[in-house]
Each structure stands twice: as C-alpha cells, then as structure tokens.
Structure 1
C-alpha cells in the first residue's frame, strides 16, 4: 500500500473504531497522534490549519469527497516518516485489538490481503 493510502486508511479505520466505540485508550491516543501529524503536514504544505483539520475530521469512512480531497492534499504534501510510522502503528493496534478494517481498492488489478502470502500475476 502506498504511503498516502496507508495514512488515509488508518485515519478512516481509526475514526470508525472511535464511532463504533471499539477504540481503546491506546488506539484513541494513536489516532489523535496521527490526526495531529497529518494536520501539521498539510499546514506546512500551505493548507490553512482550519482547512487541514476539517479535511482530517471529515475522513471517517463515509464521505468519498472528503477522502478524495485528503488524498489529493497528502499526495501534494508528501507523507513524511513520522506520519507514516504513526499510521502503521495505528493499523497495527487496530489489527491486534481484533478490529477489522476494510480495504477499498476499486482499481486494483491484483490484490492480496493477509500475511505471509505469495501472489504471482501475469497481465496481458
């Protein structure tokens, strides 16, 4: 998964866990940390702080327009290592807690989900 998709997925799934009431304090803290890093990243790239915060807050898995806007802003800004690590940590915490997360890959040509798998694709 590319860095931007990883961050957006982590934000979406963290928000869903919070809305569903399944987030532990550790997951909620990791989610808040990631949100803060993304807001700072977007703000450094020229987006207003209020705009950045609104984009992050609206990305809760329900609004496709806000997800696309956040993806575009993150692509333009580039994802730095601390943000990428925070996103991965949040997804790891969600996985360890048994929280399931969804993957939206409508344009995927070959998709492999799970650990320790091998896939060989031939595209003509």
Structure 2
C-alpha cells in the first residue's frame, strides 16, 4: 500500500464518520477489524457497527484532521473530535493509529487527551 493509498483510506474514514454514513464507514473496515479506544475494545463487523451507530446517535461526533503521517500499511493521525456529552458540546484532541490491510482499516487505537473515555 502506498502512502497515498493510506492517506485516502483515513480521509475516507473521517469523511464517512463526519457524514454519519454508517454504511460507508463500515465498508472501510476489514471483517475482523479491531478498534480500541479508552477501556473499550471491539472487534468484528457487528461490534463495530453497534459502537459507531451508538456514537453517531448519542454523541454526534465530528473529526477534523490536523496531521496525518502514513507509511506502508500504517497511519498516525492527530485530530480534534467535537462531540456532545450529557448535553454539553466538547472539543477533544485525539490521536489515532491505524493498521491497514487490502485498502481497509484492520485495527485502530485511539487516544483522547487525558483518556480515550468520554467522561
């Protein structure tokens, strides 16, 4: 995978996330993808779909990419996430590290400043 391909994969992921297009978002993951954020680890299409569907409904999150570094099948991204938690709009600096396979996300680990848990 070329750096341009990895860049395109991450940008497509963020675009689908911001558009709240669950179908397009899930198309960007391998069937056995693993997602780790805070104390939550989910794996497989069904768990990922449930995680993102709930976040899109409850938190109304959006992402803004600030820096993206890619190399082969890896990508590291510094972003800002804006979300609603208990009726309050919050902006959180986050970083995400992606491992890609066959042009899709195979795993991701997300860190939110202080903690990846929204509390």
Length-normalised TM-score, structure 2 = 0.31
Q: Which has the higher strand share?
A: 2
* Bigger Rg, structure 1 or 2: 1
Length-normalised TM-score, structure 1 = 0.30
Q: Which has the higher helix share?
A: 1
Using CA pairs under 8 Å that are at least 6 residues apart, name the structure with larger relative contact order, 1 or 2.
1
